[in-house]
Amino acid sequence: MGSRFDEMRIFAGNGNLPLARAISERLGVPLGDVTIVKFSNENIFVRLNESVREKDVFVIQSLSMPDLSDRIMELLILLDACKRASAGRITAVIPYYAYGRTDKKDQPRVPITARLLADMIQVAGAHQVMTIDLHAGQIQGFFSIPMDELTAMNLLVRYFADKGWNDLIVVSPDVGFAKRARNFAEALNAPLAIAEKRRLQHFDRKDGSLTVPEILNLIGDVRGKRCLIVDDEIATGSSILEVVQLLEKEGASEIYACCVHPVFAGNAIERLRASPIRELVVTDTLPVAPERRWPGLTILSVSTLIAEVIQRIHSGVSVDTIFQHRRHPALS
């Protein structure tokens, strides 16, 4: 099936240029010529140095740190530039969608920033959006334009399935991720354990103070087992390292971990590197600089997945058929 647009154009912000280049190479379409400058007054200037009139434009920008706000503004300004240059269709390709944890009002007088970001992307000019493994699935509903949420969990499943371990148990780091972890475990034909954090109120009769300590419990037996902690993202690493300590206490023989988005905020890398985790497997939805990597870190690329979806969107072919022969039914 041919595209209803003349040609495809791919532009990239500074959020994850190595991934954008890999996607471009797999598609055989060079990255578009664009100038992105941050002036001394911190204003960001964008200029497309080639025509996009009636072209099928894909703007690749992962909302990464550092300078997250700059990455967001680059995306919005790139979209606006494409819109004002009369692009035929504009697709925002956002491998990692920031502010995914602010998807609801869980306290009085707080914003829903994930919804605000969705509104800005649409106003800026995106006709559709593509992303990978949202922290909260309901964010899809924040968009009134087509939204394709891809999953990289299949990549992680295949990587560990190829190891052929028969003593593996999958561990969810919290109850909230238990459903996705269960699907992951089913795909690997492995049992599931769940780390459960409870807050227990304690009233001190002497001074009348009320404390709420957190106690981490484990649902499932991991003694003598090879444990694989699975999550959608790792930010500071605090939660996953608490689970690691619990698994050691419960007699796990070896501990591995995996996630889709390596946010690695603060000193997360130093803490993870020094931890008992034998191997941490992530994807390249977010960049990890070569000097920040360590022998126990494995990075799988999502470039093939994104490139194939871009090609199908451009050609007007169903995206879902990609996964029908690749994914385990448990991950559907």
Cα–Cα dist 251/193, whole Å: 13
What DSSP state is assigned to residue 223? T
Cα–Cα dist 63/70, whole Å: 9
Determine phi and psi for 65, rounding to 5 degrees. Answer: -100, 160
Cα–Cα dist 18/234, whole Å: 20
Q: How far is CA 26 from the centre of its chain?
A: 21
Active site residues: 197
- Yes or no: say if 140 and 147 are a contact pair by the CB < 8 Å rule: yes
- Yes or no: say if 98 and 121 are a contact pair by the CB < 8 Å rule: no
CA count, 13 A, side-chain hemisphere, 1? 10
